[in-house]
Homo-oligomer: A and B are copies of this chain.
Amino acid sequence: MGLQQGLTSTADPERMLADLRALAELTGNERGAQRVAWTDTWAKAREWESGLLAELPVSVDVDEAGNQWATLEGESPQTLIIGSHIDSVPDGGWLDGCLGVLSALEVLRGLARNGRPPLTVKLIDWADEEGARFGLSLLGSTMTTSGLEPDYVRALRDVGGMTAGEALAAHGVEVERMAQARSRLDQAVAYIELHIEQGPVLEARDLPLGVVRGCYGTERWEVRFAGQAAHSGSTPMDQRRDSLLAAARVALEVRELARRLGGVGTTGRISSEPGIPTAVAGVSTLLVDQRHEDPEVLGELHEQAVQASRRIAAEEDVEVSWSPLFRIAPIPFDPSLIESAAAIVNDIQGTDVRLPSGPLHDAARVAEFGVPTVMLFVRSKRGLSHTKEEDTDEADLALALNALDRLVHERLAQGTRS
């Protein structure tokens, strides 16, 4: 076979870069990428993508959840899935999502030239990863795996008041049938996704590539402190029950916990009522987001934050209550695929970086569903994403394509799983 031994790759980075630029030209403007899912621009991107796939010996179709598949039949029906999502946020960057699709396309081009691979290889373009229009990120991959109540999804509205039910139907997707896409994963034995890091870790370590160990779990809560609104001028300091200062102390504690236990902890907002300079804040609300890749440590981060908030509430003579906003367990990726990816990354850059993903990705849904999964990250400049300033050096993109190609070939060489 020899595929797994090759240090060189048949994938052509120049062609991938040309594709990325062509897509940006076709579906972006001076404010950035505009491929919001369930819009004409997104459909145009899909059509362009289908045109490129039509040059290959693959069959292309869209499943019930709106995900677009390209299938290169292999010796076995067992399937290796590669890809990402071509949709973008409004005013998005030139790499988020589409890098994973167009690098997979370039890998597929190389594979297609060499006849039937040992496994069937499918390129996936997940529908609506960003959730930019209806607020539900990972929509296509979620409906394909764990699922959501169709009635709930159908009734969501965009800012113009159109329902998700109407918008999806205009693109041929019936919400109540989306879960039928699940059968597409029946033969899946591996899922590999390349994505930009969207964070500053690789840049800080001066390395182009990293292997993703899994996705952080998240504890996202609203914390409400109720004290007593009072006049800023007439209320002495020792007679105040200031909810804002309790909130400020908890925000600082959330940081200290992440520094001590690892992971990340963020207070993105403190809202106060009445929220004017002439009044002590009677009620203040924090939005707290804590993440870690170890479920036990994640639980500890949350529990210690709750305890700290109770201690602080007692000291400040205010009431505290916690309400959940979003909770998800950590999702580890496949150990064997992580080892394979790490060996290739080490070979390319002389050192092996393994990092968790803070943001969720479609890969998390696939892994959670039980398909062995791994992701490769390529360095983001200044950690920026979801903005037209998002960027990665072309040399890094070439290395990333090389790593993806070699990882796909190695997994194909490993053959079927019983």
Residues of A that sit less than 8 Å from B by CB: 197-201, 204, 216, 218, 220, 230-237, 239, 242, 244-245, 247-249, 251-252, 255, 258-259, 264-270, 272, 274-281, 287-289, 291, 325-326, 357-360, 383, 385
Q: Check B237–A255 contact: CB distance below 8 A.
A: yes
Q: Check A220–B358 contact: CB distance below 8 A.
A: no
In the complex, 25 of the A-B residue pairs with CB atoms within 8 angstroms, ordered by the A residue number, are: A199-B231, A199-B233, A199-B234, A199-B236, A200-B236, A216-B233, A231-B359, A231-B383, A231-B385, A232-B266, A233-B358, A233-B359, A233-B360, A235-B358, A244-B267, A244-B268, A245-B252, A245-B267, A249-B252, A267-B281, A268-B277, A269-B272, A269-B277, A269-B281, A270-B270
**Residues of chain B contacted by A248 (CB below 8 angstroms):** 247-249, 251-252, 267, 270
User: Mostly helix, strand, loop or mixed at chain A's interface?
Assistant: mixed
Number of copies: 2
Q: Check A236–B264 contact: CB distance below 8 A.
A: yes
Q: Check B291–A287 contact: CB distance below 8 A.
A: no
Q: Check A235–B269 contact: CB distance below 8 A.
A: no
Q: Check B234–A358 contact: CB distance below 8 A.
A: yes
**Residues of chain B contacted by A237 (CB below 8 angstroms):** 255, 258-259, 264-265
**Residues of chain B contacted by A276 (CB below 8 angstroms):** 268-269, 287
**Residues of chain B contacted by A264 (CB below 8 angstroms):** 232-233, 235-237
Q: A199-B233, A233-B358 are in contact. List 4 more A-B contacts (CB 8 A).
A: A237-B265, A248-B267, A266-B279, A268-B275
**Residues of chain B contacted by A358 (CB below 8 angstroms):** 231-235
**Residues of chain B contacted by A239 (CB below 8 angstroms):** 200-201, 204, 383
A248 to B242, CA, bound (A): 13
**Taking A236-B200, A358-B235 as contacts, is the C-beta distance between A266 and B270 under 8 angstroms?**
no
Q: Check A201–B289 contact: CB distance below 8 A.
A: no
A279 to B199, CA, bound (A): 12
Q: Check B289–A359 contact: CB distance below 8 A.
A: no
A307 CB to nearest B CB, Å: 19
A281 CB to nearest B CB, Å: 6
Which partner residue on chain B sits nearest A199 by CB separation? B234
A357 CB to nearest B CB, Å: 7
A245 CB to nearest B CB, Å: 6
**Residues of chain B contacted by A280 (CB below 8 angstroms):** 266, 268
A135 to B247, CA, bound (A): 29
Q: Which of A198, A270, A288, A326 has the most CB of B within 10 A?
A: A270
Q: Check B232–A291 contact: CB distance below 8 A.
A: yes
